[in-house]
């Protein structure tokens, strides 16, 4: 049996707006778009991707799962993401952490890590 990590699914009120934000944030593109889902990714044959599905209600509460982004320059990346529509949020992380917590335009939290030399810090 072969198992692949295919996609992360995120509930969204405005599928197109969420897809645009994350495509700009990650330099990805829309791979598939329909009324009931929008899938984005780095390329057609590159996994995993992100799939946005519609929900009627706004997000409430802290995410149980979130995305960590690892840039070369944390401060510049945070500024760029805020310019795209993200906003800083406090989820109780405290002042001494090395990451910054932001939320996408619909309030989904994600972290911008300090620069990483490899996947193993």
Q: Give the domain range for residue 26.
A: 1-55
Bridge partners of residue 120, in order along the sequence: none
Is 60 among the domain residues? no
Band (pLDDT 50/70/90 cuts) for residue 43 is: confident
State the pTM of this model.
0.88
Domains in the chain, number: 2
Residue 35 exposed, middle or buried by CB count within 10 Å (0-12, 13-18, 19+): exposed
DSSP 81: H
The pLDDT mean for the chain works out to 91
- 118 plus 74 within the same structural domain: yes
pLDDT for res 94: 84
- 117 plus 73 within the same structural domain: yes
- 116 plus 84 within the same structural domain: yes
Is 91 among the domain residues? yes
């Amino acid at each position: 049996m072969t198992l692949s990590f295919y996609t992360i699914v995120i509930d969204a009120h405005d599928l197109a707006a969420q897809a645009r934000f994350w495509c700009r944030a990650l330099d990805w593109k829309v791979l598939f778009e329909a009324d009931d889902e929008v899938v984005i990714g780095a390329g057609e044959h590159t996994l995993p991707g992100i799939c946005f599905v519609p929900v009627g209600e706004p997000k409430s509460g802290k995410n149980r799962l979130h995305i960590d982004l690892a840039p070369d320059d944390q401060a510049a990346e945070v500024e760029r993401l805020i310019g795209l529509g993200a906003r800083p949020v406090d989820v109780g992380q405290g002042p001494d952490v090395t990451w910054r917590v932001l939320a996408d335009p619909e309030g989904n939290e994600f972290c911008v890590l300090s620069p990483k030399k490899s996947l193993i810090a």
